[in-house]
Amino acid sequence: MEAVIVANNLVKQFKNVKAVNNISIEIKKGCFYAIMGRSGSGKTTLLSLLGMLDNPTSGKLYVNGCDALTLEDKDKSKIRMKEFGFVFQEFHLNPALKAYENVMIPMHINPNYKNKNKQKKSIELLELFGLKERYNHFPSQLSGGEQQRVALARALANDPMCVFADEPTGNLDVESEKIVFDYLKMLSKAGKSIVVVSHNEIVLNYADEVFYMTEGNLKEK
Amino acid sequence: MKTNYYISLALTNLLRRKRASIVNILMITISLTILLLTTTLNSSLSKYIDEYLYNSLDYRTLIINTFKLQPNVKETIVNIVNSDDNIVEFNEELFGIVTEVNSIETLNTESDSKSNFKKLILKSRKNQYENIVVAGEFFDTTDVNVGIIPKKFYPDTTFQIDYSKEKVDFIDGESLIGKTITLKYFARDYSSNEMSIIKEFSYSFKVVGVYDIVPNHFYPYNVIIPFNDLKEIYTNIEQHNIGLAEDFNISYSVIVDNQKNVENVITKLNNKGFVVNRAAVLGPIGEISKYILYSGNILGLIILITSLINLTLTMIQSMKKRTGEIGLMKAIGYNNQNLTIIASFEAVIIGIISFIISCIILLGFIVFFRWGIANYGSMYVQAIKVRTNLSLILQTAIISIIVPLLGSIYAMRYAIKISPKVALSKGRENN
Ligand SMILES: Nc1ncnc2c1ncn2[C@@H]1O[C@H](COP(=O)(O)OP(=O)(O)OP(=O)(O)O)[C@@H](O)[C@H]1O
Ligand SMILES: [Mg+2]
């Protein structure tokens, strides 16, 4: 299968902590990856390197065959906008915008979107996560789980090729959890790459490949 | 269009900090209003001063006092006058003469109002007043016993020019055209304590036209008669007066083409040893105008700087609050340019709203000033047209955009420094 992201010998050093220690990994098209491990083992740090949110201390990163670390900030932003979707522990929803407007935030900088389609697409996405009736609500009127699902819908707004999720189900009840994982699985079947960091054992039922992290080292199960 | 998005996002963000936004807008509005108001008032007053005061004949007229005993005085002055292109006229100067009103045809001066209609001042210069007639006509230099009077006529030398509306009933000068006014004047014994009257003379003239006193900066009791008539009155008085020195001054007047050249001509005449005075000087209005401009601008600028600081602090605080949100926006692909635009739109919207409000307030003030002047201003004050002009509005518009942009620079720099990584972590600072 085609590799979308290739990481070679990634190292991330924080003062005296080596959060990521010489990790090499390939993220392939249509594959669902689960990264598990103890708190502080470096999962989030690895995700931030793969997602081009942070620069490694050393190592190489290729996205779509192109050397990602030599790119300028502007081009990195472009790749993140077009190719990546992110779901974080913190939702960072804009409290002054309604749910569907939050989902639209990434669409506004995507030149491929026509104005009319933005709202329709964002409501459709919310519908997928069972928020059809709540699309018009402000974040403060939504439960934590509902907010997380809005953030998920936002991550998918630009139809990314790869979705990075850090504890995406941390705030969800079992039922919502299932909706989220089912949807991510469906996306991976449709050819997208999914990278999920989770403590939740349920993810094992969905993942094509499972990795364990310990003190900055990655081991495939 | 993306612009729409930026505008609506900026508005939403401003509404999120409603109170701070209102304070920002209020402060900028106050400073813009003060700046607009003072520059508007100053430009209105300057225009008035230029059109009505500087441009008036008396302001460009210089009086040269000489002594009869001084040799070749006239020749010396004539030489200067001929060699200077800026001097357009040269005349012997006869100062105005106070006369008592005996009668005004068709008006009963005795019973109409006892205290009024007592005195007027006769003025004349050889031929410089010609174009001031607004109704009727000017007399020929050879005419005798004719005169032009103010359109708003008030023959009482106690009349004072004031800022507030005159509390007197003017006589409509136009209604007196064709009518005759009779005056009396006296030769006196100036050596006596009470300056007793030696001889009484009479002078009457027919009103042939009226003039507007405001642009000429005259008084409602100034009547202009032919130069020869006034000269004759002078002769009559001088012949019979007692107790004045023999070497009585002769005064000459020169008129300068433009008020800008007046100072040069004064210096030139002073250098030849002549004592020179302006026929009219700019009263307190010039000072008032400057005072309004300086104090207003200083106050406006102080408040503007305060609001700049206030806006800077507000925007930084707001950016700090939104660190996570901005980190997320960066993570999902917003670049520094996008975020700079977002911050600058927030600032510019504050500026535009403040600008619009201050223009409305200015409009209100202009309407108010005009109403006040029309209802409570003297006729001199009524000549002041309170109006703003496009360049002032444009200047203020530019300030209203630039100041908020300056205020957002720090916030922008802060936003640019935020790493997309902060979206990942809950309480952890980016490094
Ligand atoms: N910005 C930073 N500065 C200093 N140390 C950091 C920084 N970010 C992460 N670390 C350290 O790197 C290590 C890995 O952190 P990371 O957040 O990747 O762990 P994690 O596996 O995601 O943990 P959790 O499951 O609790 O989210 C930790 O020891 C952490 O303290
Ligand atoms: Mg983590």
The model's pLDDT over A101-134, given as tens digits with 9 standing for 90+, comes to 999 999 999 988 877 789 999 999 999 888 989 9
Nearest by Cα to B329 from A102, A148, A123:
A102
Q: Look at the block and give the residue holding tokens 């004349």.
A: B124
Mean pLDDT within B335-345? 92
The residues on A that touch B, with CB distances below 8 Å, are 14, 44, 47-48, 51, 53-54, 73-74, 77-82, 84-86, 88-90, 92-97, 105-106, 108-110, 115, 154-155, 158, 166
> What residue owns the CA closest to ligand 1's atom 4?
A14
Mean pLDDT of B65-81: 78
Sheet strands (E) in B137-259: 146-150, 152-153, 171-172, 180-188, 197-211, 222-224, 249-256
* Ligand 1 pocket, Cβ-based, cut-off 6 angstroms: A 14, 17, 19, 37, 39-45; B 428, 431
Nearest to A48 among B2, B325, B424 (CB): B424
B246 burial via Cβ count (<10 Å: 0-12, 13-18, 19+) = exposed
pLDDT digits (tens, 9 = 90+) for A146-204: 898 899 899 999 999 999 999 887 767 888 788 888 989 999 999 999 999 988 888 99
Q: Looking at ligand 1, which residue's alpha carbon is closest to its atom 17? A: A44
8 Å CB contact of A97 and B15: no
Closest ligand 1 atom, residue B428 Cα: 1
In this model, does residue B109 exceed pLDDT 50? yes
| Model confidence band, residue B81 (pLDDT cutoffs 50, 70, 90) | confident
Q: What is the mean pLDDT of chain A?
A: 91
Length of chain A: 221
Closest Cβ opposite residue A92 in set B325, B335, B338: B325
Cβ distance B333 to A158 less than 8 Å, yes or no, reads yes
Residue B416: pLDDT over 80: yes
Of the candidates A96, A108, A166, which has its C-beta nearest B13's C-beta? A96
Nearest atom in ligand 1 to A213's CA? 21
Interface size A-B, in CB pairs within 8 Å, comes to 84
- The pLDDT of B365-381, averaged and rounded, is 93
Contact B423 A106 (CB under 8 A): no
Task: For residue A106, give how far its alpha carbon lies from the nearest alpha carbon of chain B (Å).
Answer: 6
**pLDDT band (50, 70, 90) for residue B429:** very low
Cβ B423–A77 below 8 Å, yes or no?
Answer: no
Q: Which ligand is nearest to the CA of A43?
A: 1
Q: Which atom of ligand 1 is nearest to the CA of B431?
A: 1
ipTM of the complex: 0.90
**pLDDT given at position B115:** 47
Q: Which residues of A touch B421 (CB under 8 A)?
A: 48, 53-54
What percent of chain B is predicted at pLDDT more than 70? 94
Q: Whose CA is nearest to atom 27 of ligand 1?
A: A39
Contact A54 B329 (CB under 8 A): no
| Stretch B388-411: mean pLDDT | 93
| Ligand 1, atom 11, residue with closest C-alpha | A19
The span from the CA of B358 to the CA of B360, in Å, is 5
Give the residues across from A5 on adjacent strands.
A27, A63
- Mean pLDDT, chain B, whole residue set: 86
Domains located in chain A, CATH noted: 32-51+82-220 (3.40.50.300)
Residue B247 has a pLDDT of 55
Provide the edge-to-edge strand list for the sheet that holds A66-67. A17-28, A3-14, A58-63, A66-67
pLDDT category of residue B61 using cuts at 50, 70 and 90: confident
A24 pLDDT above the threshold of 50 = yes
User: CA of B410, closest CA in chain A: separation in Å?
Assistant: 20
Nearest Cα residue to B339 out of A105, A53, A208: A105
Task: Supply the pLDDT for residue B431.
Answer: 36
Residues of chain A contacting B420 with CB distance shorter than 8 Å: 53-54, 80
Which of A94, A116, A161, A195 to mutate against chain B (most B CBs within 10 Å)? Answer: A94
DSSP B130-170: GGGEEEE-PPPTT--SEEEEESEE---TT----SBPP-S--
Q: From the list A78, A86, A94, which residue is nearest B331 (CB)? A: A86
pLDDT for res B380 = 84
Would you say residue B42 has pLDDT above 50? yes
pLDDT at position B141, please? 82
The alpha-carbon gap from A42 to the nearest alpha carbon of chain B, in Å, equals: 12
Which among B33, B52, B30, B58 has a CA at the least distance from the CA of B289? B52
Interchain contact, B330 vs A86, CB within 8 Å: no
pLDDT digit string, tens, across residues B125-165: 776 677 789 999 999 888 999 999 999 999 888 888 888 88
Which band of pLDDT confidence, cut at 50, 70 and 90, is reported for residue B249?
low
Quick one: average pLDDT of A55-82? 93
- Closest residue by Cα to residue A45 from A74, A23, A65: A23
Closest ligand 1 atom to Cα of A37: 21
- Given this model, what pLDDT does residue B131 score? 78
Terminal CA-to-CA distance of chain A, rounded, Å? 20
Alpha-carbon gap: A160 to the closest alpha carbon of chain B (Å): 10
Ranges A11-15, A65-69, B169-173, B421-425: which has the least confidence: B421-425
Nearest-10 crossing angle of helices A115-128, A144-155: 130
Q: What's the rounded Cα separation, in Å, for the pair B431 and B308?
A: 30
**Contact check, Cβ <8 Å, A105/B329:** yes
pLDDT at position B410 is 92
Cα A42 to averaged position of ligand 1 atoms, centre (Å): 5
Q: Which amino acid is at B361?
A: I
**Beta carbons of A54 and B331 less than 8 Å apart:** no
pTM above 0.90, yes or no: no
Query: Are the C-beta atoms of A44 and A87 separated by less than 8 Å?
Result: no
B427: pLDDT strictly greater than 50 = no
Q: List residues bridging with A63 in a β-sheet.
A: A5, A66
Q: Are A48 and B419 a contacting pair, CB within 8 Å?
A: no
Over residues B308-324, the pLDDT tens digits come to 999 999 889 988 988 98
Task: Return the residue whose CA atom lies nearest to atom 28 of ligand 1.
Answer: A40
The minimum CA-CA distance between B317 and chain A, rounded to whole Å, is 16
Judged against a pLDDT cut of 70, whether residue B390 lies above it is answered with: yes
Residue B248: pLDDT band with limits 50, 70, 90:
low
CA of B428 to the centre of ligand 1 (A): 9
